[in-house]
Amino acid sequence: MGTADLSALSLKALCESREIQLAAVVTQPDRPKGRDLKVQPSAVKELALQANLPVLQPERARQPDFLEEMQKLNPDLIVVAAYGQILPVSILDVPRFGCLNVHTSLLPKYRGAAPIQWAIVNGETETGVTIMKMDQGMDTGGIVSQEITPIRPEDDGQTLHDRLARLGAELLLRTIPDYIAGTLPPRPQPSEGASYAPKITKQDGQIDWHQSAEAIVNRVRGLRPWPGAFTFLPGRHLLKVWHAEITGRSGTPGVILPPESTELCVACGQGALRLLGLQREGGRRLAAAQFLSGHPLKAGEKLG
């Protein structure tokens, strides 16, 4: 069961395994995507059709007819990876070995919808993947296995997503045989250290220049490629900040500092940022020098 792009690698790994027989794939209904809002299938559905697997697409996992279909399939195990819906107890109870979830954090930290982005935004230096036996709670089930990976300074939401998707698929394949054999039983999550990673919204991308330069650059990284970090130019024109780096300069938060060559530096609550990749609303992504040649900004002007 999966919908997001992250799920496709887990499905691909299961398809290639000689030890696992897939009965069906469950994914969310086709949704409008892209600028033209054309209805498109999920990456999981496309992969399942290529593998000639039956595909189920219930609007809601709680639908009685979906429960009936799952009971007819009578699977030994359900694997869930970024499906996008909370499963009711009636579905969790269908397989005799329960449901395993591929979650992209080191539980109990970052339970919820967006663990990858929030780990970067919050300045974490490591994260990982947890294979968890699902229960009725929000990512509260027993931990079956985990793998750690560092969050590198150059990582953003996309690169970390891709690495965790790969690690999750690999860990899943290593975990299932021992879990089924009973030699890798779930262990309760620690009672301390739990945190929540809510769904990302566009508003989460707004930069607060009173934060430190480090906190802001982490937000830029964590919310790239979506929704992207943004601020407002004088005149309230939206400006997306795609790349930035910390400098040793300082000043009033949000104020553009006197330039050194063709750079664009903005003071933060602590330190300052050199803005490297910019995009005005409706425009193209540009390097700072290109942007400034078409949109001159003066020292002393304020962003925010």
DSSP annotation of 203 reads G
Q: Residue 191: what pLDDT?
A: 87
pTM assigned to the model: 0.95
pLDDT along the chain (304 residues), means of 10: 95 96 97 86 96 97 96 98 95 98 98 98 98 97 98 98 98 98 97 96 98 98 98 95 96 94 92 97 94 93 96
CA dihedral for 86, 126, 6, 8, sign (positive or negative): negative
pLDDT for 128 equals: 98
Measuring CA to CA, which residue among 221, 266, 269 is closest to residue 242?
221
Q: Are strands 126-133 and 142-150 parallel, antiparallel or unpaired?
A: antiparallel
The reported pLDDT for the residue numbered 243 is 98
Three-point CA angle 25, 79, 21, nearest 5°: 60
The pLDDT, as a whole number, for residue 34 is: 78
pLDDT of residue 87: 96
Binning the chain into helix, strand and coil, the percentages to the nearest 5 are: 30, 25, 45
Residue 262's pLDDT is 74
Q: What is the pLDDT, as a whole number, of residue 263?
A: 86
Q: For residue 87, give the DSSP letter.
A: P
What is residue 32's three-state secondary structure?
Answer: strand
Burial class (CB in 10 A: 0-12, 13-18, 19+), 154: exposed
